[in-house]
Amino acid sequence: MSDYFIQYGNTRISYSLTFADRKTLGIRVYPDKSVHVIAPVDTPQEIISNKVHSKAAWIVKQQDFFLAFHPFTPPRRFVSGETHRYLGKQYRLKLIDAKYEGVKLHGGNIVVYIKDRSDKARIEKLMKAWYRSKADIHLKRLFEENLSWVKGLHVGTPTLKLRWMNKRWGSCNKSGAIQLNLELIKASKKCIEYVIIHELCHLVHLNHSTAFYDLLDKYSPDWRRIKDELEKMMV
């Protein structure tokens, strides 16, 4: 496998290249935005470069699509007054010295009762546990609410797992196992539902083909605007 690149306007598109016993040249874009080209044995480099260049607009579109599923929330310092999101709204973090530790929502604040306010790791752990408890309620409920139309597609019953993910908002495999990023509990309900619908559509089309987008358009007609909202909200 070798690494190459082409220049598409101001964008440099790097790609890996392998040769195989096949008749046509294939280009794949992966969720980490990497590009892989598989070409027939002995294909001239010029032909490969021209082919990649002809597909440059599509490659950039796919990379931008996957980029939209990369969480961008900047690192938090876990100090009083810092803003944190919950279900699409911003709340101020308020740290209170207390004998018993815990987290609760009060007015416009996420209040953390903590024995040592300088223990940032402990504050983060308490908040993540609180977010998980809320995700267990809201993400699972939204998931269940969207299963009715999926059952009509005769794709079996999907399973759901919630976990912290570094690179994706969600994923779906061919066995029907769907995973959602716990970070989604910080987004609005309509953004959460969009990601859920996106992953449920993969039960029918495990790709990003035209057929996949047709299905997504059917069950989430406003998904493009919501996707943009999700990107901007989580910055």
Give the number of domains in the chain: 2
Q: What is the pLDDT of residues 187-217, one digit of tens each?
A: 999 999 999 999 999 999 888 888 888 999 9
Q: Is residue 16 part of a domain?
A: yes
DSSP 150: H
Last residue of a domain, one of 67, 87, 109: 67
Q: Which CATH number do you get for residue 169?
A: 3.30.2010.10
In this prediction, residue 67 carries a pLDDT of 61
- Domain span including residue 205: 141-233
Q: Which two tokens mark 9?
A: 């306007």
- Rg of the chain (C-alpha set): 22
Q: What is the pLDDT of residues 154-165, one digit of tens each?
A: 778 899 999 998
Q: Is residue 225 part of a domain?
A: yes
Strand order in the sheet with 11-20: 2-8, 11-20, 35-40, 26-29
- Tokens 């931008």 sit at which residue? 64
Q: What DSSP line would sit under 47-99, residue for residue? A: HHHHHHHHTHHHHHHHHHHHHTTS--PPPP---TT-EEEETTEEEEEEEEE-S
Last residue of a domain, one of 40, 67, 94: 67
Measured in degrees and rounded to the nearest 5, phi and psi for residue 113 equal -90, 120
Q: Is residue 51 part of a domain?
A: yes
Confidence of residue 109 (pLDDT cuts 50, 70, 90): very high
- pTM of this structure: 0.71
Q: Is residue 61 part of a domain?
A: yes
Q: What is the pLDDT of residues 31-61, one digit of tens each?
A: 777 899 999 999 999 999 999 999 998 888 8
Q: Is residue 17 part of a domain?
A: yes
Last residue of a domain, one of 10, 42, 67: 67
In this prediction, residue 71 carries a pLDDT of 57
Q: Is residue 175 part of a domain?
A: yes
Q: Is residue 223 part of a domain?
A: yes
Q: Is residue 115 part of a domain?
A: no
